[in-house]
Amino acid sequence: MSKPFVDSNIVLYLLSGDVAKADRAQALLAAGAIISVQVLNEVTSVCLRKLKMPWPEIDDVLTAVKAACEVIPLTVASHEKAVALTKRYQFSFYDANIVACALVSGASQLLTEDMQHGLQIDGLVLKNPFKNL
């Protein structure tokens, strides 16, 4: 079974006061996951803008996430796939980039809290790992 692809919202729960979700996010990453540079960018942006974290703390989060996950790059191919997904499913372009990278990575699951649980796209299943919490 392939490792799941993890959306930025799952990673950000590592910093949450919601202990159940933080613990679930930590377990998911510890078990092995795939992320993209888009996920790292979104996590960095939220840490800076919304959480107002200092850079040394952000660096620590990013280092830990990169150590726990396989990171795939954004490419012209993933960009083109994201454009097509945005047109077809009316995703936000940022969500479409996540889905595109999950597809490019070959993952069978995309773990996300923000998109439709159970949606299947070209063999990829979107799942909310917090659905039963």
Residue 63 lies inside a defined structural domain of this protein: yes
Residue 54 lies inside a defined structural domain of this protein: yes
Q: Whole-prediction pTM value?
A: 0.92
- Token readout for 26 is 């930590």
* Residue that the structure tokens 């280092």 belong to: 63
Residue 133 lies inside a defined structural domain of this protein: no
Report the DSSP beta bridge partners of residue 34.
Answer: 5, 70
Residue 57 lies inside a defined structural domain of this protein: yes
Kindly tell me if the per-residue pLDDT of 133 is higher than 80: no
Domain span including residue 45? 5-127
* pLDDT (0 to 100) of residue 2: 83
Kindly tell me if the per-residue pLDDT of 122 is higher than 70: yes
- Domains contained in the chain, number: 1
- Please report, for the domain that includes residue 12, its CATH number: 3.40.50.1010
CB 35 within 8 A of CB 5: yes
Q: Alpha-carbon distance 71 to 29, whole Å?
A: 12
CB 114 within 8 A of CB 7: yes
What pLDDT, in 10s, does the model give residues 42-67? Answer: 999 999 999 999 999 999 999 999 99
Residue 132 lies inside a defined structural domain of this protein: no
- Give the up-direction half-sphere exposure of residue 99: CA atoms within 13 A in the CB hemisphere: 29
Residue 113 lies inside a defined structural domain of this protein: yes
